[in-house]
Amino acid sequence: MATHPAVRDEHLGHVVFISAAAAMGGFLFGYDSAVINGAVTGIQKHFGVGNGETAFVVAIALLGSAAGAVMAGWLADHLGRVRTMLLAATLFAISGIGSMFPPSIEVLGVWRVLGGIAIGIASVIAPTYIAEVAPTAYRGRLASFQQMAIVLGITVSQLANWALNQAAGGESTNHLAGIQAWQWMLGVEAVPALVYGLMAMAIPESPRYLIADGREEQARKVLVEVEGPDVDLDSRVAEIRRVLDTRRKPRLTDLLGGRFGLLPIVWVGIGASVFQQFVGINVIFYYSSFLWQSVGINESNSLLISLSTSIVNVIGTVVAMALVDRIGRKPLALAGSAGMAAALGVAAWAFSFRHGTGSTATLDNTYATVALVAAHVFVFCFAFSWGVVVWVLLGEMFPNAIRALALSVAASAQWIANWAITVSFPNLADWNLSATYVIYACFALLSIPFVAFCIKETKGKALEEMG
């Protein structure tokens, strides 16, 4: 049941703050996952390793993310949404400090796994929490805070990487205040982690979790806080109770059913997560400095390009936030899929003119310009569509009783798909950079029928109607 529009608007500012605080985990998610982009060259030089070892260190965090996403559903349902955020903030801070001073690349990998666990937790808990406190009419835009926070985290990480690289004279292995620039890139994460922890302590627990946990009076206070004093509390609590099993926590067995083991709605969530990654978006954010250096652009300029694509990512996300509740989730996803397929195809064509391999590779100016424009168009199309839509859908498409757990399974699949793309890209790029982008373009094309036939529109529907 929706609250009266005037009441909702009166309390919208408070709900915006609550959502933004939860989405701070998304900022750290974006920062931690993308900051390695600027540090890759420094790590290679410092530890004297090649593409294989580098890909391992970059990608291993994503296995941690998959584990964190699986854990997040259980943590959210047993500890509560807010305590789970505090745990993620702590893990982010520890990982950042540890990654700053690794004695070996293997130890760096361990700290990256810990940070990955925090990313996985944050990727699940923020959309779960925001969907549960947001008024129905604004839920899409408020859930978009998660993706906006992610892209801002990516942008800030690229800005920090570029600034630190410039301060170190254009080389990430040069020293600043006694340690190398790439170490500062990884360690600065501890600052936003502290902010995340402080903000998490300032927001209320989810009313749906409180009711499931038997704390109805607290839930009523939170409902008044987020929906206004004129909300019909008895009706709202009864509505939530009707779709929540308050006597037990959801188990993995609750996700089973249907012809292929899991419930069909869970498979749709997994499919959306996998397609989001298989278009190759995180190649741009994890490896763009490596990518542009592989076609003859120097380290400093490659980091500047990484910053520009991050800014385009922010712009596209703003567009999505303005449209997701107006035109719906499916139209945005379909438009983005078509745009991504075209841009990836053009990039593949441009990369086919690359000369040489490794550090000697070059790309003529005309084709380099085409590749740069195509990469920016690809990022924009992803940002206004799949970047936002998938997180919005995952936060609202599942039935209440299994939402956190189902979201954690879908997010875990997303991180495994992300790992597969990330760990394979350096070797695929060495094999055939153009063919690699053809593969990504094919997945973008395949995502069109997936959206058309498998995704149900969730615009304007109450969470209690889902599933």
Task: Give me the pLDDT at residue 198, please.
Answer: 93
Give, as one character, the DSSP assignment of residue 203. S
Q: Which residue has the higher pLDDT, 177 or 277?
A: 277
Q: Where are the alpha helices (DSSP H) in 48-104?
A: 51-78, 81-100
Task: Give me the pLDDT at residue 1, please.
Answer: 37
Round to whole Å and give the CA distance between 106 and 249.
Answer: 38
CB atoms within 10 A of CB 353: 16
- What's at 263, amino acid-wise? L
Task: Give me the pLDDT at residue 246, please.
Answer: 47
Query: pLDDT-based confidence at 3, cuts 50/70/90?
Result: very low
Dihedral (C-alpha) 284, 288, 292, 298: value to the nearest 10 degrees?
160
Task: Give me the pLDDT at residue 100, please.
Answer: 92
The answer to whether residue 302 scores a pLDDT higher than 60 is yes
Task: Give me the pLDDT at residue 7, please.
Answer: 41
Round to whole Å and give the CA distance between 161 and 186.
Answer: 9
Task: Give me the pLDDT at residue 166, please.
Answer: 85
The answer to whether residue 137 scores a pLDDT higher than 90 is no
- Percentage of residues in the chain having pLDDT higher than 70: 89
The answer to whether residue 259 scores a pLDDT higher than 70 is no
pTM over 0.75: no
Task: Give me the pLDDT at residue 130, please.
Answer: 84
Question: In 3D, which of 83, 118, 84, 79 has the Cα closest to residue 98?
Answer: 118
Q: Which residue has the higher pLDDT, 127 or 246?
A: 127
Question: In 3D, which of 382, 337, 367 has the Cα closest to residue 434?
Answer: 367
The answer to whether residue 301 scores a pLDDT higher than 80 is no
Task: Give me the pLDDT at residue 411, please.
Answer: 80
Name the phi and psi angles at 179, rounded to 5: -130, 165
Residues 6+ apart with CB under 8 A from 28: 88, 89, 92, 118, 119, 122, 153, 189, 192, 193, 196
Burial of 252 (0-12, 13-18, 19+ CB in 10 A): middle
66-105 pLDDT per residue, tens = 888 888 888 988 899 999 999 999 999 999 999 999 999 9
Cβ contact 375:284 at 8 Å: yes
Task: Give me the pLDDT at residue 41, please.
Answer: 81
Round to whole Å and give the CA distance between 410 and 261.
Answer: 14
Least reliable range by pLDDT among 22-26, 241-245, 317-321, 330-334: 241-245
Average of per-residue pLDDT values in the chain = 83
**∠ CA 381-69-246, rounded to 5°:** 115
Query: pLDDT-based confidence at 2, cuts 50/70/90?
Result: very low
Question: In 3D, which of 92, 84, 127, 82 has the Cα closest to residue 113?
Answer: 92
Instruction: Report how far Cα 359 is from the mean position of its chain's Cα atoms.
Output: 31
Burial of 360 (0-12, 13-18, 19+ CB in 10 A): exposed
Mean pLDDT of the region 230-258:
71
Q: What 3-state DSSP class applies to 146?
A: helix
Mean pLDDT of the region 158-169:
87
The answer to whether residue 400 scores a pLDDT higher than 80 is no
Task: Give me the pLDDT at residue 430, please.
Answer: 80
Helix (H) or strand (E) holding 176: strand 175-176
